[in-house]
């Protein structure tokens, strides 16, 4: 009898998360026996069950900003992505180290700027970053934390080495799918999940609420923390609502808030109530029209004055964009050495910085081999996949790079690792490329890594782009507990 896994073929020259050419990886034996024993019809039925329950629960994202509110479920593949205990322990240490260094970097850049004075990073790379907010220099955030929530994107190269691709230090999204995907796995694979012994992820909201309360300028029972959303038309609205609900906090939008005497209040049916911590899921340029966009009617007038006065904590702190700028990214290993005196535990992707003359010359001569990215864009936009692009597209990027070199970096394309992924119309498993976004919460006592993460998968055959806006989906991520292999 052919089972699902026995007919599965990993891609040559690529690391497969579940199998080698000789069969399943030994660390996963206790799971692959059971998963592999299923037939195509079994998995088709489970996949259908999963999609139906996501739709009925309204686990959706808004597609168009119109009144009819077109919503879609985030495409989901029931086949889980597995991570061995030892692998995750390594990631955990590496991420903690990275977040400590990035936090120190932000404190320094909005303070003394020692790292620039020491010549470790060229000042123009930092001070010229779109995310650098010179007006915030000298402002110390309430509670002393700047990166309360980070969602660091990692990929795995053909040797199986984890590499950081991007540090998302502003408003990383996706964690609600981590929790909801697990709820689906519990429904469709109860026995296999039990057998696999997987770390739980459903305590994330509780840990997040603790992280937020820990930075309140008025500690104690009276502290009010809220989640700030742009509103139900926002594509990530489900997540904003999910987090508010599971933390027991109120979900507010900007018109619900106002500032009086540098203190933030929320309008309630019992009059104004003071707000101490805002988990803001709005872009920082829409936080306060007084500071960022005088022409904007969005945002809360005076919010930044209240923040600078230390009367309200904002998570994440405004100004963090300077640390996850793609042209600052190549210097993170130097930051780790400079601030912590440690060798970096996590690798990253070698990066050419077009602002440097040598790098730029190499990039424009080798566009057909490189992936070029605009430093201030995300979501898979503003990038050139050199090997697949047309000559005209490459010529256009060449002109753009020469016009504004500071805006571009380039990397050699990494062969992202693959996972067996359910292909509904062929009723079989095929290798599809994945990344991993673990979530790191930082409170005044230090960072904590959720043992899990969002696995995004490029569902289109041959694609390297995992973003949900461009044909990506997600998988549940099972971080196995150590020991006790059966």
Partner 1 sequence: MISRVADHAFWLGRYVERAESTARLLATTHNLALDAELEPAACWRPVVVVAGEEAGYAARCAGDLAAWGDGERVETFLAIDDEVPASIKRSIAAARWNARSIREVVSLDAWEALNELYLWSSGDGARADFAERRFAFYRRVRDATQLVLGLMRSTMLHDDALDFIWLGVMLERVSQTARILDVQHHAYTSISNRHEVVETSLWLSLLRSLSGFEPFMKQCQGKVDAEAVAGFLIGEVRFPRAIAFCVQAAYQRLAAIRPPTADDLPGGATLARLGALHELVQRRDRELRGPAVHELLTLVVDESHAICESLGKELFGQG
In the three-class reduction of DSSP (H, G, I as helix; E, B as strand; rest coil), residue 455 is classed as strand
Residue 266 engages partner 1 in binding (rule: CB under 8 A): yes
The answer to the question of residue 209 lying near partner 1 (CB under 8 A) is: no
Helix-strand-coil split of the chain, %, nearest 5: 35, 25, 40
Compute the least distance from the CB of residue 215 to partner 1, in Å.
22
Q: Output the smallest distance, CB 40 to partner 1, in A.
A: 28
Q: Is 5 or 179 the residue whose CB approaches partner 1 more closely?
A: 179
DSSP letters for 277-346? EEEE-S-GGGT-TTTT-TT---S-TTHHHHHHTTSSEEESPTTGGGTS-TTTGGGHHHHIIIII----SS
Candidate residues 244, 354, 363, 384; the one interacting with partner 1 per rule CB under 8 A: 244
Nearer to partner 1, 88 or 238 (CB): 238
Point out which span in 164-172, 264-272, 304-312, 410-418 binds partner 1 (CB under 8 A).
Answer: 264-272
188 vs 249 by CB, closer to partner 1? 249
CB 217 within 8 A of CB 311: yes
- Is residue 254 at the binding interface for partner 1, with CB under 8 A as the rule? no
Q: Does residue number 457 form part of the binding site for partner 1 (CB under 8 A)?
A: no
The answer to whether 391 touches 399, Cβ cutoff 8 Å, is: no
Length of the chain, please?
Answer: 486
Which stretches does DSSP call E strand in 386-427? 408-412, 418-423
Give DSSP secondary structure letters for 157-198.
Answer: -TT--EEEEEEE-S----HHHHHHHHHHHHHH-HHHHHHH-B
Pick from 134, 270, 403, 426 the residue near partner 1 by CB under 8 A.
270
Among 72, 93, 137, 267, binds partner 1 (CB under 8 A): 267
- Of 271, 294, 462, 484, the residue at the interface with partner 1 (CB under 8 A) is 271
Exactly one of 23, 26, 69, 446 binds partner 1 (CB under 8 A); that residue is 69
Our finding on whether 241 is near partner 1 (CB under 8 A) is: yes
Which tokens is 266 given? 């929320």
Q: Which is closer to partner 1, CB of 12 or CB of 271?
A: 271
Window contacting partner 1 (CB under 8 A); options: 99-107, 129-137, 156-164, 261-269: 261-269
Pick between residue 158 and residue 232 the one whose CB is nearest to partner 1.
Answer: 232
Three-class DSSP category at 99: helix
Beta strands, E only, 349-426: 351-353, 370-374, 383-385, 408-412, 418-423
Nearer to partner 1, 14 or 60 (CB): 60
Quick one: 97 or 224, whose CB is closer to partner 1?
A: 224
Segment near partner 1 (CB under 8 A); pick from 88-96, 166-174, 269-277, 414-422: 269-277
Between 114 and 267, name the residue whose CB sits nearer to partner 1: 267
Q: Is 253 in the site for partner 1 (CB under 8 A)?
A: yes
Pairing of strands 370-374, 408-412: antiparallel
How many whole angstroms separate alpha carbon 7 and alpha carbon 412?
32
Beta strands 418-423 and 428-437 are antiparallel
Report the nearest approach of partner 1 to the CB of residue 164 (Å).
Answer: 33
Under DSSP, the state recorded for 355 is T
Nearest-angstrom CA–CA distance, 247 and 24: 39
Considering only residues 48 to 67 of the shown chain, the ones binding partner 1 according to CB under 8 A are 55-58
Q: Using CB under 8 A, list all residues that contact partner 1.
A: 55-58, 68-69, 231-232, 237-238, 241-242, 244-245, 249-253, 255-256, 266-271
């Amino acid at each position: 009898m052919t089972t699902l896994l026995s007919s599965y073929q990993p891609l040559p020259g690529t690391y497969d998360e579940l199998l080698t050419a000789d069969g399943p990886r030994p660390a996963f034996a206790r799971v692959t026996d059971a998963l592999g024993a299923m037939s195509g019809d079994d998995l088709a039925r489970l996949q259908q069950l999963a999609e139906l329950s996501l739709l009925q629960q309204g686990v959706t994202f808004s597609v168009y900003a119109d009144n009819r509110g077109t919503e879609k479920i985030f495409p989901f593949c029931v086949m889980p992505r597995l991570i061995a205990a030892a692998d995750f322990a390594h990631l955990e240490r590496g991420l903690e180290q990275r977040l400590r260094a990035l936090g120190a970097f932000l404190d320094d850049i909005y303070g003394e700027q020692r790292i620039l004075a020491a010549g470790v990073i060229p000042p123009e790379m930092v001070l010229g970053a779109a995310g650098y907010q010179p007006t915030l220099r000298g402002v110390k955030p309430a509670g002393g934390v700047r990166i309360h929530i980070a969602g660091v994107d990692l990929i795995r190269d053909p040797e199986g080495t984890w590499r950081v691709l991007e540090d998302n230090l502003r408003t990383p999204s996706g964690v609600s799918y981590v929790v909801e995907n697990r709820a689906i796995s519990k429904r469709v694979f109860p026995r296999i999940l039990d057998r696999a012994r997987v770390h739980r992820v459903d305590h994330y909201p509780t840990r997040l609420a603790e992280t937020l309360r820990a930075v309140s300028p008025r500690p104690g029972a009276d502290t009010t923390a809220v989640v700030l959303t742009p509103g139900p038309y926002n594509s990530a609205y489900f997540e904003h609502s999910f987090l508010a609900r599971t933390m027991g906090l109120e979900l507010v939008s900007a018109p619900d808030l106002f500032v009086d005497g540098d203190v933030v209040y929320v309008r309630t049916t019992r009059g104004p109530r003071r707000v101490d911590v805002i988990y803001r899921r709005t872009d920082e340029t829409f936080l306060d029209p007084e500071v960022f966009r005088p022409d904007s009617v969005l945002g809360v007038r005076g919010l930044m004055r209240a923040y600078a006065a230390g009367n309200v904590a904002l998570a994440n702190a405004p100004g963090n964009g300077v640390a996850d700028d793609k042209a600052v990214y190549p210097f993170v290993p130097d930051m780790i050495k400079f601030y912590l005196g440690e060798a970096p535990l996590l690798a990253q992707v070698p990066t050419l910085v077009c602002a440097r003359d040598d790098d730029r010359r190499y990039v424009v001569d080798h566009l057909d081999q490189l992936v070029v990215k605009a430093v201030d864009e995300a979501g898979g936009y503003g990038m050139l996949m050199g090997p697949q692009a047309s000559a005209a597209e490459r010529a256009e990027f060449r002109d753009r790079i020469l016009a504004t070199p500071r805006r571009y970096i380039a990397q050699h394309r990494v062969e992202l690792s693959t996972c067996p992924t359910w292909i509904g119309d062929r009723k079989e498993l095929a290798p599809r490329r994945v990344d991993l976004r673990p979530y790191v919460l930082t409170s005044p006592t230090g960072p904590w890594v959720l043992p899990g993460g969002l696995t995004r998968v490029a569902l289109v055959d041959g694609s390297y782009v995992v973003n949900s806006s461009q044909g990506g989906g997600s998988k549940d991520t099972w971080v196995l507990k150590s020991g006790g292999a059966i």
